Amino acid sequence: MTDELDVDAMIARFRERAEAVRDRPMPPIAGEEYQRFVEQAQTDFQDYALIGDATWSFDSGVLTLRIDLRPEAASG
């Protein structure tokens, strides 16, 4: 499976997606649509950034993504 799956490239794509969401221009919308757009962008960025920060291992056919959620000073 690891021969077919480039996990480092996958994680890099998630980092790129997080940056794309952060830099996404605002469409010409207002009111409730604006609020939904902002909330979705925040959720998208969070999801992509979490995976983009992951480290990984592949053991016995199981891909494990590890995401350190500790504050930066604690994660060392």
pTM score: 0.77
Among residues 54, 49, 52, 53, the alpha carbon closest in space to that of 66 is found at 54
- Predicted pLDDT of residue 76: 62
Pairing of strands 62-66, 55-59: antiparallel
CB 7, CB 63: distance < 8 Å: yes
Q: Is residue 73 scored above 60 in pLDDT?
A: yes
